[in-house]
């Protein structure tokens, strides 16, 4: 089970998971405890600590992990700068090693590196019981919808025959709708772009009863499209358009 707080750190608890570890660890980190101190405080009075597993990375990239002695083999962890990987009932240590290598080799953003690590664990042997669920959390101050919270990305797949592949798919959708617009992807709705936007909005039914030759009517129709299709996070200054939205418009039927 993953937990994270912007400016504080991230926590994952598993095996016989103690769901209090997540919020408690984030509070301890916020109070200035180190990752090692935090794990010690979490586990020292837990009567079932031998069946617990937890990994922590603080906002500075310091990492620590704990695996109780009664967790089912293979159980263990691997920590490094900016990451903590832990697993139980795995085919072997090669899985966490493959995940660490993929994480370090990836030049993607943080969410992409985490997905790369998950994807690398499966061909290395994965969990002998099979595949079922996967989750991805990323936080940044003001990174959530409308800047109202720190949830930059918070996705989970609870039951799927290919959970990591499904998580990657919905992460791509999340990026489409909520990803940041690159400056080079902002275009004015004029010239050939305007002609294409008119044709697309007509095909999609957004220009019914409106004069496509009227710039204000056209931008009003485009704004309606953006809001109805949930692209408000990619909405630009009036008269401009994100190319990612235009690509979506081309694909929509």
Chain segment 150-205, per-residue pLDDT in tens: 999 999 999 999 999 999 999 999 999 999 999 999 999 999 999 999 999 999 99
- Residue 228 CB neighbour total at 10 angstroms: 11
CATH 2.40.110.10 for the 2-178 domain, yes or no: no
**pLDDT number for residue 253:** 84
Split at pLDDT 50, 70, 90, the class of 38 is very high
**Nearest one of 185, 246, 184, 193 to 215, comparing CA atoms:** 193
CA angle 250, 252, 253 (to 5 degrees): 120
- Across the beta sheet with 52-58, the strand order is 2-5, 9-15, 52-58, 63-67
- Across 232-252, average pLDDT: 97
State pLDDT tens for residues 47-71. Answer: 999 999 999 999 999 999 999 999 9
Q: Is the model's pLDDT at 107 over the cut of 90? A: yes
**pLDDT number for residue 116:** 96
Q: How far is CA 68 from CA 59, 71, 77, 95, 146, in A?
A: 25, 6, 11, 19, 41
Q: Is the model's pLDDT at 31 over the cut of 90? A: yes
For 234, the token pair is 């990619």
State pLDDT tens for residues 125-152. Answer: 999 999 999 999 999 999 999 999 999 9
Measured CA to CA, the distance from residue 21 to residue 24 in angstroms comes to 5
Q: How far is CA 39 from the centre of its chain?
A: 25
Give me the helices (H) in the chain, please. Answer: 21-30, 35-43, 94-105, 110-121, 163-178, 191-203, 215-228, 243-251
Q: Where in the chain is the domain with CATH 3.60.20.10?
A: 2-178
């Amino acid at each position: 089970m993953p937990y994270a707080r912007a400016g504080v750190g991230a926590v994952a608890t598993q095996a016989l998971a103690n769901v209090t570890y997540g919020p408690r660890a984030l509070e301890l980190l916020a109070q200035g405890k180190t990752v090692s101190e935090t794990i010690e405080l979490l586990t020292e009075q837990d009567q079932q600590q031998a069946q617990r597993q937890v990994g922590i990375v603080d906002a500075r990239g310091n990492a620590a992990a704990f695996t109780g002695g009664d967790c089912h083999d293979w159980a263990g962890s691997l920590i490094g700068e900016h990451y903590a990987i832990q697993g139980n009932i795995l085919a072997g240590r090669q899985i966490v090693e493959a995940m660490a290598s993929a994480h370090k080799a990836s030049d993607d953003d943080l969410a992409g590196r985490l997905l790369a690590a998950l994807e690398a664990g499966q061909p290395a042997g994965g969990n002998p019981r099979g595949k079922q669920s996967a989750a991805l959390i990323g936080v940044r101050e003001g990174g959530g919808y409308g800047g109202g919270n720190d949830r930059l990305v918070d996705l989970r797949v609870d039951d799927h025959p290919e959970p990591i592949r499904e998580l990657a798919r919905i992460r791509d959708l999340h990026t489409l709708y909520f990803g940041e617009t690159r400056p080079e992807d902002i275009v004015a709705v004029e010239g050939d772009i305007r002609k294409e936007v008119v044709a697309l909005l007509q095909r999609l039914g957004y220009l019914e009863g409106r004069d496509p030759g009227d710039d204000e009517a056209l931008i009003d129709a485009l704004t309606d499209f953006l809001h109805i299709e949930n692209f408000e996070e990619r909405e630009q200054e009036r008269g401009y358009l994100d190319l990612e939205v235009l690509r979506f418009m081309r694909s929509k039927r």
